[in-house]
Amino acid sequence: MSISPRPLQRRSRILTATAAAALLMTAACGGGSDSPDASPSAEKLAIAIQAPPSSFEVTRLDGGQAAYVWASVYDTLLYTDEKGQIQPNAAESYTYSEDRKTLTFKLRAGMAFSSGAPVNAAAAKASLDAVRTTPGLGQSNLASIDSVEAADDLTVVVKLKEPDDSLVPYLAGGSSAIADPAAMKQPDAATNPVASGPYTLDKGATVSGSSYTLKKREDYWNAAAYPFETIQVKVMPDRAAVVNALRAGELNAGSVDSSQVETLKSAGLRIEQIKASSVATLFLADREGDKLEPLGDLKVRQAINMAFDRAKLVQTVLRGTGMPTAQLFNPKGRAYDAALDELYPYDPAAAKKLLAEAGYAQGFEVTMPSFVTTKPLEPVIAQSLADIGVKVTWESVPLQQQFTALGSAKYPMYFGIYGLDHDPLLVDTYTAPGTPTNPFKSADPELTKLIGDADKAGDPAEADEAYKKINQFFVKNAWFAPVMDIGMSWVTAKGITYLGDGSSAAISIRYFGTSD
Amino acid sequence: MLLYVIRRLVSGLVLAVLVTLITFLLLAPSFDGIVSNRIGIGVTSEAVRALKADMGLDRPVLVQYLDWLSDAVRGDLGVSFFSGEAVGHTVGQHLGVTLSIVVVTLLLTVAVSVTLGVLAASRGGAVDRITQAASLTGHLVPNLLIAIALVYLLAIRLKLLPATGFTPVTEDPAAWARSITIPVIALLVASVAGLTAQVRGTMIDELRKDYVRTLRTRGISTRAVVLRHALRNAAGPALTVLSFEFVALLGGALIVEKVFAIPGFGSYAFDASLQGDVPVIMGITLFAVLLVVTINLAVDLVNGWLNPKARIF
């Protein structure tokens, strides 16, 4: 199977999870060796996404595949390239002060919004201030910012309350999108973005919620990085529709279920397989054993980690489009440590022994939430746990209640599929207390120190070292039981290439190029 | 009759108020979840509370409903929690897409089913047996399978029709016709199968009645007996089935809309429900109730016109 690209921001992880599960659930359709039309044109990229973008307000730009639309219209201060490196974008440079509490951005000169108004420090400040003062995900992402100042026409100075290594990665996403301040105040700001990105939304050719047409701005400062004159983003929640549209030549790029890869390959389409774009993991959230006593014992959490035949699950459930893993971090990222994957081999007998040593020789029972997004994987998870004596009862939770259900600390253990991301963002997401990803507010002095080390590290190598140690902390203390990385398969027609290799978690039209 | 129509419309409005109130009350316990869903994962409950207040969802439920109702009466259905678009406009847009498919499907259903049903009932023999077999097959074959087969053949292999998408009729009538052909056929099969069986059954009943024998003894041609008398009497039940079919198709077109990536009413309602987009759900509920009330009223009026004995006004 495959999965849609994942977000740069925390919110969209669940969107990724939804996408992943939708892929797991989607039935295959048809077969054959017919050849699709040549791509509509190298001038035009026609791509499918599973869910439409929400509002176009800068305070509401979410991650997930919706970024194919808004990230084409908006410029962000920084961006993540296809190798996962954060690069200058609207800001041509950024520098930290010695104490890492002041971040200074130098904007490019000569940029303009589609309205003709200049992009300047005041505009960037207005957008950042709007994001950090409006209740929502962006506010949470930028919580470490104390103030934003426009030092001069092209210099933005961001003062931090405390050093925060996750801030720069967040500013390479929707949290730093720059909108025309005049348009932000208009009543149609949600549907009519006025920004400085490489494309503008062609409202006449756009059917909201269904199909978005973007026209290239020839006056864009970095037009050469965007080879397509027109981008058409079609909303197709059904994967069979994506496959049909690719075969009929109505799309020239899309991500598909792994079961469809061979059919599409034989139809002459190009396939790019990414081995890891999200991770399926069991959250052993009640690490003090407040609600489920056994989970307070490290041996029990380690036993659970040894219950999964990860390699077999990747082959049988994902048809090989994935990787067995015992860690939450991107295998192509710097925090990843291949040796950690060896720590918990599949060994039900040893797992039972650990449970017995912890005083649970008879196993124990646990109730876990069942979401429509995780349902396809639930039987194999439950079976693996049952094999070591942990009996799971699934409790159905409507999708719209998922965050409340998880955040309320009702469930000591739960299963989810979450998008991979920059190392600092993953740490931020999985450790923020009182959130659906850390509902029991787990904390540890060692972990707090390591996060502090990463935040204060001036040298990237030092920060990488800290993230590696955080990864080791998670795995050795069995805070989670990651099962497998879920990959994705990108299909492109002749003339189009997908440039990503899984190193970057970001979503961008920039990752598509042309070829002969 | 005018009084009857006014009475039905007023009771329809009362029904709309009741149904939307119940919908709102059912949604109210989910407000926290809906806010969390909009804000995303990785944020604290304080942030959720702040956004809930910002969205006005922390006010008493009845106050919120009455606010919505007073705005709705003035034609303002609010904006989507997620897209920020005006609900009235987008509901109308999606409903228009589905109606353009459903109406064509129903017109073709009537044409094909009445023809087949009448032929089967009046001719009997092989025609009847073939019609019954076809009707049964139509019932048994899932819409989705037909859609997949047609897409493969007509869109992927022969490239005669688009595999996905929808073109509004106002934009390009020919492209619109092409874009709805496969979805309409996929919906049509089950629809025709149901109505054909209904028309055949009621026509057989009618043709066995005394008045038909009387008409025949008076030398009225079989054609006139079947089409002008029996069919008129058999049309009532068929019309009722058709009205159910119409309502069912509005929501039931969901699978076809998903498979063909058509931005219709069914998928719009489905997505709004999954997200918990309260203003959109309320708008959809209101439109759906008013539509059902209108259709039922229209069916009653037509039934009364067809058969004076069935008049309830």
What region, left, alpha or beta, does residue A270 occupy, with left being phi > 0 and alpha being psi -120 to 50 degrees?
A: beta
Indicate whether A26 pLDDT > 50. Answer: no
CATH topology for A71-190 is Dipeptide-binding Protein; domain 1 (3.90.76)
Q: Show which of residues 224-283 on chain B sit within 8 Å of chain A, judged by CB atoms.
A: 258-261, 263, 267-268, 271, 274-276
Task: Verify that B104 and B47 share a domain, yes or no.
Answer: no
What pLDDT does residue A240 have? 86
The single residue listed with the structure tokens 């008076």 is B218
Task: Verify that B123 and B266 share a domain, yes or no.
Answer: yes
Residue B282 in any domain: the answer is no
Residues A256, A239: Cα–Cα separation, whole Å: 6
Task: Verify that B10 and B117 share a domain, yes or no.
Answer: no
The chain-wide mean pLDDT, for chain B, equals: 88
Q: Answer whether B264's CB lies under 8 Å from B97's CB.
A: yes
> Structure tokens of B98?
């589905």
Task: Verify that B38 and B120 share a domain, yes or no.
Answer: no
Q: How many CA atoms lie within 13 A of A409 on its CB side?
A: 17
| Identity of the amino acid at B268 | Y
- In chain B, which residues have their Cβ closer than 8 Å to the Cβ of A29? 148, 151-152
Q: Show which of residues 63-92 on chain B sit within 8 Å of chain A, judged by CB atoms.
A: 79, 82-85, 90
Measured N-to-C along each axis, helices B31-39 and B265-275 cross at an angle, to the nearest 10 degrees, of 100
A255's enclosing H/E stretch is: strand A253-256
Task: Verify that B163 and B211 share a domain, yes or no.
Answer: yes
Task: Verify that B186 and B108 share a domain, yes or no.
Answer: yes
What pLDDT does residue A37 have? 41
Please choose, from the candidates B91, B79, B35, B251, the residue with its C-alpha nearest in 3D space to the C-alpha of residue B27: B35
Indicate whether A99 pLDDT > 90. Answer: yes
- In chain B, which residues have their Cβ closer than 8 Å to the Cβ of A186? none
Residue B301 in any domain: the answer is no
- In chain A, which residues have their Cβ closer than 8 Å to the Cβ of B159? 37, 248-249
Confidence of residue A6 (pLDDT cuts 50, 70, 90): very low
Indicate whether A468 pLDDT > 90. Answer: yes
Instruction: Kindly report the CATH number assigned to the domain that includes residue B245.
Output: 1.10.3720.10
- Which of B36, B39, B43 to mutate against chain A (most A CBs within 10 Å)? B43
What pLDDT does residue B280 have? 95
Task: Verify that B44 and B111 share a domain, yes or no.
Answer: no
Indicate whether A103 pLDDT > 60. Answer: yes
pTM here?
A: 0.84
Q: Which residues of A232-260 are buried (b: 16+ CB within 10 A; e: fewer)?
A: bbbbbbbbbbbbbbbbbbbbbbbbbbbbb
Residue B127 in any domain: the answer is yes
Instruction: Report angle CA B29, B35, B41 to the nearest 5 degrees.
Output: 120
Query: For chains A and B, what is the number of CB pairs under 8 angstroms?
Result: 186
Residue B169 in any domain: the answer is yes
What pLDDT does residue B312 have? 63
Confidence of residue B313 (pLDDT cuts 50, 70, 90): low
- Please give, rounded to a whole number of angstroms, the shortest distance from the CA of B93 to a CA of chain A: 9
CB atoms A10 and B157 under 8 Å? no
Task: Verify that B112 and B190 share a domain, yes or no.
Answer: yes
First to last CA, chain B: 6
Domain extent at residue B64? 2-73
Indicate whether B237 pLDDT > 50. Answer: yes
Please choose, from the candidates A458, A442, A429, the residue with its C-alpha nearest in 3D space to the C-alpha of residue A100: A458
Indicate whether A170 pLDDT > 80. Answer: yes
A362-380 pLDDT, tens digit per residue, is 999 999 999 988 999 999 9
CB atoms A10 and B43 under 8 Å? yes
B56 in reach of chain A (CB within 8 A)? no
Collapsing DSSP to helix, strand or coil, A234 comes out as: strand
CB atoms A11 and B83 under 8 Å? no
Minimum-distance CB partner of B41 among A13, A247, A434: A13
A315-342 pLDDT, tens digit per residue, is 999 988 899 999 999 999 999 999 999 9
Indicate whether A36 pLDDT > 80. Answer: no
- Which of B87, B156, B169 to mutate against chain A (most A CBs within 10 Å)? B156
Please choose, from the candidates A382, A493, A421, the residue with its C-alpha nearest in 3D space to the C-alpha of residue A38: A493
What pLDDT does residue A28 have? 31
Q: Which has the higher per-residue pLDDT, B48 or B107?
A: B107
Strand partners, A234: A48, A211
> Structure tokens of A201?
């939304």
B163-184 pLDDT, tens digit per residue, is 999 988 888 899 999 999 999 9
**A276-488 CATH, one of 3.10.105.10, 3.50.50.60, 3.40.50.620, 3.40.50.80:** 3.10.105.10
Collapsing DSSP to helix, strand or coil, B83 comes out as: coil
Pairing of the two strands A364-370 and A390-396: parallel
Please choose, from the candidates A82, A83, A489, A65, the residue with its C-alpha nearest in 3D space to the C-alpha of residue A272: A489
Confidence of residue A485 (pLDDT cuts 50, 70, 90): very high
Residues A42, A51: Cα–Cα separation, whole Å: 25
CB atoms B33 and A208 under 8 Å? no
In the predicted model, what is the mean pLDDT of residues B124-128? Answer: 89
Q: Which has the higher per-residue pLDDT, B50 or A180?
A: A180
- In chain B, which residues have their Cβ closer than 8 Å to the Cβ of A243? none
What pLDDT does residue B310 have? 64
* Number of structural domains chain B divides into: 2
Indicate whether A22 pLDDT > 90. Answer: no
Residues A470, A275: Cα–Cα separation, whole Å: 23
Residues A319, B100: Cα–Cα separation, whole Å: 41
Please choose, from the candidates A195, A202, A189, the residue with its C-alpha nearest in 3D space to the C-alpha of residue A174: A195
Collapsing DSSP to helix, strand or coil, A461 comes out as: helix
- Which residues have C-beta within 8 Å of that of residue A363, sequence separation ≥ 6? A355, A388, A389, A390, A391
Strand partners, A274: A488
- Which of A33, A252, A400, A421 to mutate against chain B (most B CBs within 10 Å)? A400
Residues A163, A161: Cα–Cα separation, whole Å: 7
Domain ranges of chain A: 71-190, 276-488
DSSP sequence for A88-108: ESSEEEEEE-TTS-EEEEEEP
| Identity of the amino acid at A288 | E
Residue B120 in any domain: the answer is yes
